Amino acid sequence: MDLMPEVLADERTRQAFAQLMKLNALLLGLALEGAAGSRRGARRVRTAEAVLTTLHGVDQMAAAAPGFTDPFDVVAVCERLAGLDLGGGWPLPHLSHVSPARAVDGPDWTPPPATDAVSGEPLEPAPEGVVAVLGLHRLEAAEEAVRAAPPGAAVTAVLVTGDPAELAPLARLAVAGLCGCLREAFAPAARPRLRVVHDETGAVAAAAGVPAVGDATETAVRIEGGRVVARADGRGAAHAAASFDPSRASG
């Protein structure tokens, strides 16, 4: 309740918060998709959005009118919401018009030490995968990388901002609030394969070849054999890098 007036006071903060909720819905949706009994192939992000909307509303009501809502009723409602299939297919229509990533003879992928906000553990640089550097106004693009990446490939969303003093704490608070619950509620096998890194200094982004960052940043690289082999910039970059064919790098 104390946070919301600050979020509502500025358009840039509202936009960042909305995108952070998109990221949280993706993380929860992926966990629901990976949970035992989930219909194989079903996208659950819209369901996760409904669950988070309910929980945020309950949180505000509990502060404004203590005792109004029975917490066991909330649990029952969320159980039923989690079982709903609200549809929402993939891919999104605009992705068919995204320019392909360009092959590069890049450097070894040796990012600085970082922590995965989802697992809470130190991030191990993956020899194969996708790294998407996303400003806080473009976080919904993380799903484009997740959906297009090949099975088993590590997908990492690096969160950057042009205003680390103001927006980085908001990002950490919003993501930590959800991920702490995910670690308690879901078995390790069901947890999202998306890794999230808070990069207030821009050091991880710089390692990916992004020297300057802002809230609209959207750049992604494809990692193969521990080296950067492809890069894409702008809208659709995460999808382009994730769907890149590594054989082009040596072709």
Q: SS3 of 84, please?
A: coil
Q: How many whole angstroms separate alpha carbon 46 and alpha carbon 89?
A: 10
Express each pLDDT in 200-234 by its tens digit: 999 999 999 999 999 999 999 999 999 999 999 99
Express each pLDDT in 14-26 by its tens digit: 999 999 999 999 9
Is the pLDDT at 39 greater than 90, yes or no?
no
Going by pLDDT thresholds of 50, 70 and 90, the confidence category of residue 128 is: very high
Helices (H), 35-154: 45-64, 71-82, 142-148
Nearest-10 crossing angle of helices 11-34, 164-185: 20
E strand or H helix that includes residue 141: none
Mean pLDDT of 27-48: 84
Express each pLDDT in 98-117 by its tens digit: 899 999 998 899 999 999 99
Task: Just give the CATH number of 4-89+99-250.
Answer: 3.40.30.10
Cβ pair 239, 151 in contact under 8 A: no
Amino acid letter, residue 146: V
Phi, psi of 225 (to 5 degrees): 60, 30
Cβ pair 204, 190 in contact under 8 A: no
Tokens representing residue 185 in the block: 């509620």
What local confidence, expressed as pLDDT, does residue 37 receive?
62
On the question of a cis peptide bond just before residue 113, with omega within 30 degrees of 0, the verdict is no
Cβ pair 195, 123 in contact under 8 A: yes
Query: How high is the mean pLDDT of the chain?
Result: 90
Handedness of CA 119, 121, 123, 127 (dihedral sign): negative
Q: How many whole angstroms separate alpha carbon 204 and alpha carbon 116?
A: 12
Q: SS3 of 227, please?
A: strand
Tokens representing residue 203 in the block: 């050091």
- Residue 129 CB contacts under 8 Å (≥ 6 apart), including other chains: 149, 153, 154, 155, 156, 222, 223
With b for 16 or more beta-carbon neighbours within 10 A and e for fewer, the 90-109 pattern comes to eeeeebeebeebebeebeeb
Distance (Å) of CA 133 to CA 2, 209, 227: 30, 10, 16
Beta bridge partners of 220: 132, 232
Which of 39-48, 68-77, 214-223 shows the highest mean pLDDT?
214-223
Nearest-10 crossing angle of helices 11-34, 45-64: 120
Going by pLDDT thresholds of 50, 70 and 90, the confidence category of residue 40 is: low
Cβ pair 56, 4 in contact under 8 A: no
Is the pLDDT at 64 greater than 90, yes or no?
no
Tell me the whole-structure pTM to 2 decimals. 0.91
Cβ–Cβ contacts within 10 Å for residue 57, how many?
A: 12
Mean pLDDT of 163-177: 94
Going by pLDDT thresholds of 50, 70 and 90, the confidence category of residue 150 is: very high
